Amino acid sequence: MMILITGGSKCGRSQLAEKFFDGFYGKKYYIATMQPFGSEALAAIERHRAMRDGKGFETIERYTDISGVEIQNGSGVLLECAANLCANEMFLPDGSISDPTGKIFDGIKIIAEKTALLVVVTSDVSRDGESYEPSTMGYIGAMGRLNALLARLADSVFECVYGIPVCLKGEAL
């Protein structure tokens, strides 16, 4: 079972994602993709660690190459967040830019094949209608393509709107 959760910033995606694991009694992994750059990122990482505390997740920090994550077959995986993963893969340390859509999608498919439950948190980064510099527009385009692929792969898709989960595909909560 794969569930995709999308929405804007600070809308309740993480809390919803964790709820899907309340009745899951197998091995649980949390794949963290946010690189600890700066005080805001560090604060977000600490907030998410506190949210997961005592819930039985084993945290794997993986910023790129998601297909190389080693997990137990039949386990549960919460991947947070596809948008961070996309930025990490797209904007390379040498200053070059690549389109990571296929690489990330293929990696998530590999994880999905091994899990009993996979919940992927992503972000909707394209709704403001603004035009940005070309590299940012490239990122927005890559995220749109990736989210569309993930939505097709997922059994259920939810959008969090002001903390309210809206079922877009599959079974409602």
Mean pLDDT, rounded, for 61-79: 95
Query: What's the pLDDT at 84?
Result: 92
pLDDT tens-digit series, residues 31-46:
999 877 777 767 777 7
pLDDT tens-digit series, residues 13-29:
989 999 999 989 999 99
Please name which of 166, 87, 123 lies closest in space to residue 6, comparing C-alpha atoms: 123
Domains of the chain, start order: 2-168 (3.40.50.300)
What does the DSSP assignment read for 47-60? HHHHHHTTS-EEEE
What is the rounded CA–CA span in Å between residue 24 and residue 42?
28
Contacts of 16 (CB under 8 A, 6+ apart): 5, 158, 160, 165
